[in-house]
Amino acid sequence: MADTKLWTRIAVALAAVGALALVVGCPPSKPKGSKRPAAASDIAVAAEKTYVPPGDLDEYYMFSSGGHSGQVYVYGIPSMRHITTIPVFAPYSGTGYGFDDESKAMLGNLTWGDVHHPALSETGGDYDGRWLFVNEMNGRVARIDLRDFKTRQIIGPVPNISGNHGSTFITPNSEYILMSSRFSIPIPKGKAVSIDRYASEYKGVAAGIKVDPKTGQMSLGWQVLLPPFDWDLGDAGKKLSEGWFFLTCYNSERATGKLEVTASQRDRDYIAAIDWRLAEKAAAEGKGELVGGVKVLDPKTVPGLVYLLPCGKSPHGVDVSPDGKYVVGSGKLQGVTTAFNFEKVLTAIKNKDFAGEEDGIPVLKYESIKDAEVPVGLGPLHTQFGPDGMAYTSLFVDSALAKWKLGTWEVLDKVPMSYSTGHLAAAEGDTVSPDGKWLVGLNKLSHGRHLPVGPSQPESSQLVDISGDKMKLVYDAFTEPEPHYAQIIKADKLKPIEVYPREENKHPLAIWDVKDAGVTRKGNEVLAKVVVVRSSMTPALIEVNEGDTVKVALTNIEQTTDELHGFGLLDYNINVVLDPGETKTVTFKADKPGVFPYYCTNFCSALHQEMQGYLVVKPR
């Protein structure tokens, strides 16, 4: 084990330098790459490169995690414009999400989530433009349909998973999504075990969530028991490494308390390699135990299921090269990143070339499986790929990006970033055939980069032109909190619809003609079927009695693009938005007597202001 105290001293010193640098408004440390001052001609070139004139369209979509805002934010590239917000784990009254019966039920009892890593669905290792999956820390994963940019399913909280950070990472044909526990707990959830017994009775868990290849519907697959480390980030193998999941961890010390000190005792943590085809097979064969309602496989009883690759202390990202040969990971305070050769990993496994074990899981030998330590710079967190073996690594401590080459391991260029870049997203950068062209650094700190907005400073993302030999920083954009990761897909891969075709609407309460609209009653249950269309709501009057349970079923019968209507009911906290061709319901108890207007909240036509009605609640 290396000098732990020294390591801690370095970390503390670095944090202090970072803090000081921020106060005076400069990056924590200067990258070693040559500084390219922005000449007027450079500015003009950057302006034109990123400018999307009125009427023109961006070349790529970027789907960016919204962190603890619970949402996904969509940007256009190269304009870096925020072009829409997709509500996922938090209500969003802008689209009425979380207010109608259907989306409210999907959210359950949670009104926030901590979104981390979006994953576009893949076919043959390429983004196929069908779905976007995103995880959040309360053990959930959501599926967004890219046909309409709507959240269509939320699975979870998934049993046994706690702090679902290492997620969602998807296999090359979207068979499975990975989830994992960042914070180990006693399982099943609900068991209260003293923290003193952390090392032996708290459990790490990785889960494979099965994805239906036709519909994208997610279901519980299998889970794998892991030691009580903090499981952090992952990636799925591809091509040469297809069939494997990789997952980093920190705190292999199994420490509790102040982890900043207690979890820094060892020189190396691990990358776990999980054979997901074997997990699938073992679960199908009835192996494992039901814990919390899901099949949990113990690596002790399924040989070959998991191996541990020693990695620099406290790694963050682990990234598989487009050909699947290299698995790249680094200690987050190292000056190098390690390229593990997966062929060597397979050989070591075959030869049982092990250094030891953790809870029955074999530990491979670092020297046997690594191909290179690439001197990228200080604080390598995450690597993305371009064509021709190009790799790009974010340097958190250096506040810079490094460009280097797989195989030759040369560092070719560095560019300063502002500041503390965490993840990177390259155009089609997680696929078997990355595009190059554009790279976005998702920065953790933004001080001084934009007009000041008070102590609650937003994050920032920066666009880097990687089309030439040298990287060029060309644009700064604020990003909604908190960008953990993003994926960038070619715009022409998506063909979103603009209207829900009437013939697809199978909602049992849908109506298409004002003659079918009206209010009916069964005991104290009132059903109001409402037609919403320019420029009226029919009926314009709903009369109920205090204490009634009222269900309003709204159908927007428009089949014209951009003709959204909203249904805002004042004082009752109701706000539903209906896209063209959509039916939604909202159910509430009429517990306040009086007269309550309802009105269209989404502008729709010249007579939008006239689109209103009244709910009259007669007192008991």
The interface with its own copies within residues 47-86 (CB under 8 A) comprises 47-48, 50-55, 57-58, 61, 66-70, 74, 76, 80-85
Task: Determine the Cα–Cα distance for residues 383 and 221; give it in Å rounded to an integer.
Answer: 29
Among 103, 151, 462, 487, binds its own copies (CB under 8 A): 462
Among 30, 34, 43, 123, binds its own copies (CB under 8 A): 43
Per CB under 8 A, contacts with its own copies among 508-547 are 534-536, 538, 540-541
Q: Report DSSP state, residue 185.
A: B
Name the burial class of residue 260, with classes exposed (0-12), middle (13-18) and buried (19+) by CB atoms within 10 angstroms of its CB: exposed
Per CB under 8 A, contacts with its own copies among 94-123 are 94-96, 99, 109-114
State yes or no: residue 413 binds its own copies (CB under 8 A): no
x-or-dash string of contact with its own copies, 321-340, rule CB under 8 A: -----------xx-------
**Total of residues contacting its own copies (CB under 8 A):** 167
Q: Are 458 and 97 in contact (CB under 8 A)?
A: no
Per CB under 8 A, contacts with its own copies among 22-41 are 22-23, 38
State yes or no: residue 499 binds its own copies (CB under 8 A): yes
Structure tokens given for 34: 């040559």
Per CB under 8 A, contacts with its own copies among 215-254 are 230, 232, 250-251
Phi-psi label, residue 484: left if phi above 0, alpha if psi -120 to 50, beta otherwise = alpha
Encoded amino acid at 402, one letter? A
Nearest to its own copies of 387, 496 (CB atom): 496
Nearest to its own copies of 284, 540 (CB atom): 540
Among 477, 488, 552, 557, binds its own copies (CB under 8 A): 477
Task: Determine the Cα–Cα distance for residues 620 and 608; give it in Å rounded to an integer.
Answer: 34
State yes or no: residue 400 binds its own copies (CB under 8 A): no
Per CB under 8 A, contacts with its own copies among 153-172 are 157, 162-163
Task: Determine the Cα–Cα distance for residues 274 and 287; give it in Å rounded to an integer.
Answer: 16
Encoded amino acid at 347, one letter? T
Nearest to its own copies of 81, 287 (CB atom): 81
Nearest to its own copies of 133, 475 (CB atom): 475
Q: Which of 139, 168, 159, 266 is nearest to 222 (CA)?
A: 159
**Sign of the CA dihedral running 446, 447, 452, 454:** positive
Cα separations in angstroms, 301 against 160, 170, 278, 429 = 19, 26, 12, 37
Q: Report DSSP state, residue 611.
A: -
Instruction: Compute the least distance from the CB of residue 119 to its own copies, in Å.
Output: 19
Cα separations in angstroms, 599 against 97, 327, 605 = 17, 56, 14
Beta bridge partners of 532: 537, 556
Q: Which stretch binds its own copies (CB under 8 A): 127-135, 278-286, 296-304, 494-502?
A: 494-502
Per CB under 8 A, contacts with its own copies among 334-393 are 379
Nearest to its own copies of 28, 322 (CB atom): 28
Q: Which stretch binds its own copies (CB under 8 A): 187-195, 294-302, 364-372, 406-414?
A: 187-195
Nearest to its own copies of 215, 301 (CB atom): 215
Task: Determine the Cα–Cα distance for residues 389 and 309; give it in Å rounded to an integer.
Answer: 23
Q: Which stretch binds its own copies (CB under 8 A): 118-126, 344-352, 458-466, 518-526?
A: 458-466
Residue 356 has φ and ψ, to the nearest 5°, of 160, -155
Per CB under 8 A, contacts with its own copies among 270-309 are none
Q: Which of 236, 266, 262, 354 is nearest to 303 (CA)?
A: 354
Among 142, 473, 517, 550, binds its own copies (CB under 8 A): 473
Name the burial class of residue 353, with classes exposed (0-12), middle (13-18) and buried (19+) by CB atoms within 10 angstroms of its CB: middle
Q: Which stretch binds its own copies (CB under 8 A): 121-129, 354-362, 403-411, 570-578?
A: 570-578
